[in-house]
Structure 1
Amino acid sequence: MFREIPESDIDRAQELAYLVFHEKPEDELRKRHHELLAGCLRIGAYDAETLVGMVAALPFTMAVPGAELPCPSLTFVSVAPTHRRRGVLSGMIAELFARCPAEGWPMAALWASETAIYGRFGFGPGTYGATVEIDSREALRLRIAPDERPLRLVDPAAAPALLGPYYDRTRSGRAGRPERSEEWWAKEWMVEQDPDDEDFSRPRVVALGAPLAGYAVYRTKDGDSDRPETSGLVRLDELEADTPAVAAALWRYLTSLDLTGTVRAWGRPLDDPLLLFAADRDQVRVTSTFPALWVRLLDVGTALRRRSWAAAADVVLAVTDAAVPANEGTYRLTVAPGAPAAYESVDAAPDLTVDVRDLSAAYLGGTTLAAAVRAGLATEHTAGATDALDAALRTPLLPHTVEEF
């Protein structure tokens, strides 16, 4: 049976998640998890009265091109080891999707711990991230002049009040970034101890400019005392800047911290200007790239009508969606910059046949439908239709987020 998990079962739900993910969190983190679960939609799978599965949906609002949309963010996805491969996850996802119209949710998102799972439910990788590693034993060499205004360290307790308005003002510049409450800043970004690695310092915040023009949130870790050749590590969690010069000043600061030899930034955007203004790419290396935020259009028509468009296009789409049949059909999509989009059911030959998974991946502007066509995942029936739609979907900056949930 699939139904909403009552608040009285939250402790049971937590224990199920810890069982599945092999975790044993400390009391403070358990308390935080309880708070998160208490504030979201919780779908459970019950075998008689035993809770054997859970999917939680955090009620986020996400920046999409030219707009913001309510976007539940799936987390704590758990199936008891005794009930795997019995349709439990499929049943919970179906129950969640069935509730989304009443909640007014046209899209959903998640971070996939196992990427092979979620494509079959219509999720596609909407953003990508890069892990960047800098050898900071030598000064960072730059092709541009850094902003020379003074930097200042900010008390983490005061950081939400300073960084929050800046983040709110700038987050629409890259689609995929969710809204952050003051509580989210304090309890997720400025938490004293990193729950995944207690050897890291408390969060450090460095800011530039008044009014604020950029900031970096980072933690540090000592080198190995048993190996004198090792140096300390700087882990960058977030860096935002108004201009390349501001970004250069922040990167220069991070790479000049005493007693450190490596700066590691997980989840940078693939179009990070650092990768161009760094003078030596042997010093600044991309060590991995990966799908980051997975996106699922739950109401294709609403999602397409709400976003903005970079170019005009008039395309007939045949959309397939095995999990949400209401999305299936043939529709004419007519868009233009600055104008409301039209998306209407038509009885006409399609220009492009596309599955909701690939349409979802392209929705934020981070991937192209032409790539799906080349991979045999979508079919172009009218020459030029895919290129026209990709041009309309394009955004000035690639979508990106480091917001995990």
Structure 2
Amino acid sequence: MSTVRFREVPRSRIDRVLDHAYLVFHEEDERPGEREFLRRCERLGAYEDDHLVGFLGALPLRLSVPGGQLPCAGLTYVSVAPTHRRRGVLSGMLQEQWRRCAAAGQPLAALWASEAAIYGRFGFGAATHLSTVEIDSRRPLALRVAPDDRPLRLLDPEEAPAVIGPCYEAERARRAGRPARDAYWWREQILPEEDEDDDELGPPRIVTLGGNPPAGYAVYRTRAGDDDAGTPGLVQLYELEADTAPVAAALWSYLAAIDLTGKVRAWGRPADDPLPLMATDNDQVRVTDTFPALWLRLVDAPAALTARRYAGPVDLALEIQDETLPANHGTFRLTSGPDGTRCDPTEDRPDLTLDVRDLAACYLGGVRPVRLLRAGLVTEHTAGAAEALEAALRTEFLPFTSDEF
């Protein structure tokens, strides 16, 4: 490790970054838009004798949190050459990244973990969870909620961001965990011409309901079936937002009624999506998988705790265990009420002791502190402290993240 140095990777060396990534992730071909994506990142390289042996990209995101949004480093392409594993390269890159986060005023960092076992020891907690939902659409979708009867409209992808962007922003305000989107993100990450993981899927389709801004929308693609193999046509849903249950019912009914298809698959839905409750037949609408989505790291825990909104008054001394970032390690008194929110170091006896990864998992409202207490991951020094923290962190909607990076 003493021979490894960390520095910015210039744009002129993005080819080298791609070669390194293909080696580590066992890929061969460049994906559309990769270079532009990497140009938008801060690019941190680990070098030994001028050879790139590790890489970490950081997207400057603004992530919705309860009551607002915060700057967040979206870590991506995190990778270490196979010749340099278990030599502290990843630890060194992350330490350098935390310094950069502090300089940029980013109290949060987040990533999608390709290997979940790695990141807990670096202080990341699984803060949002997703469900995969499938609908058997070979028969009409039976719902217990009457669909909104306002007309539906198909949009051209070029005009879609201007129309559905306000609807997405309204949902960001309701649900934590969602990044802000600019024109590039809509064009290249949400509405690219092709799905890079399935070239048999058609172009993006966008359907809206209601006026402007719409009351809801869905983004989807379709794939033809194979009669010889008995495979029905597929509707692949990427995003569905609705401001009421009847609007959601109308959009789901539309997707399930598309001709020449027999299945609707939604890869990433909120853990509290009401669709399974709305369905008359749970054999027709099935949750086929649930999994962690966004992993969150509190780089500046006191700043992050001060910045979010709380469901009610709170006054707790929290002992945070963080061996990686000394500024987070210690006891802090979190108070929130009519006069505002503070999170300051204290010499008071702690009410609750928890690891920074578990605090990160709870931070957006997606994991209950009482569950962590029952699992033996939180130590309660004052009776009822975990329940008090849970009540303060509670949100109306569970956090949700479907934007991968």
Distance apart, 1:352 and its partner CA: 0.3
Partner of 2:131: 130
Give the 5 Å matches for 1:20-31. 20-26=24-30, 29-30=31-32
Partner of 2:60: 59
Give the 5 Å matches for 1:203-242. 203-211=204-212, 212-227=214-229, 229-242=230-243
Paired residue secondary structure (1:260): coil
Paired residue secondary structure (2:262): strand
Partner of 1:78: 79
Query: How many residue pairs were aligned?
Result: 400
Partner of 2:175: 174
Partner of 2:9: 5
Letter in 1 for 2:6: F
- The CA deviation string for residues 101-157 of structure 1, in whole angstroms up to 9 with x for no partner, is 111000111111110011011000110000001111111101010001111111111
Give the 5 Å matches for 1:266-345. 266-336=267-337, 339-345=339-345
Q: Flag the 1:61–1:313 CA change in 2: closer, same or farther, 3 A.
A: same
Whole-angstrom CA distance in 2 between matches of 1:117 and 1:191: 31
Residues 363-372 or 17-26, more deviating: 17-26
Paired residue secondary structure (2:347): coil
Segments of structure 1 that go 5 or more residues without pairing to the other structure are none
- The CA deviation string for residues 180-237 of structure 1, in whole angstroms up to 9 with x for no partner, is 001110111111111111011111111101121100000111122431x221111100
Tell me the TM-score normalized by structure 2.
Answer: 0.97
Distance apart, 1:24 and its partner CA: 2.8
Partner of 1:195: 196
Partner of 1:139: 140
Q: Flag the 1:271–1:339 CA change in 2: closer, same or farther, 3 A.
A: farther
Distance apart, 1:7 and its partner CA: 2.2
Whole-angstrom CA distance in 2 between matches of 1:163 and 1:25: 33
Partner of 1:395: 395
- Tell me the C-alpha RMSD between the 2 structures: 1.1
Question: Which runs of at least 4 in structure 1 moved beyond 6 Å after TM superposition?
Answer: none
Paired residue secondary structure (2:340): coil
- The CA deviation string for residues 217-270 of structure 1, in whole angstroms up to 9 with x for no partner, is 00111122431x221111100000011000000000000111111111011011
Whole-angstrom CA distance in 1 between matches of 2:156 and 2:27: 31
Partner of 2:36: 35
Partner of 1:88: 89
Partner of 1:358: 358
Tell me the TM-score normalized by structure 1.
Answer: 0.97
Distance apart, 1:339 and its partner CA: 4.5
Letter in 1 for 2:223: K
Q: Flag the 1:312–1:319 CA change in 2: closer, same or farther, 3 A.
A: same
Whole-angstrom CA distance in 2 between matches of 1:180 and 1:391: 31
CA contact (8 A) 1:161 1:182 kept: no
Paired residue secondary structure (1:168): helix
CA contact (8 A) 1:164 1:182 kept: no
Whole-angstrom CA distance in 2 between matches of 1:398 and 1:131: 16
Letter in 1 for 2:220: Y
Residues 359-368 or 157-166, more deviating: 157-166
- The CA deviation string for residues 364-391 of structure 1, in whole angstroms up to 9 with x for no partner, is 0000111111111110010001101100
Paired residue secondary structure (1:316): strand
Paired residue secondary structure (1:237): strand
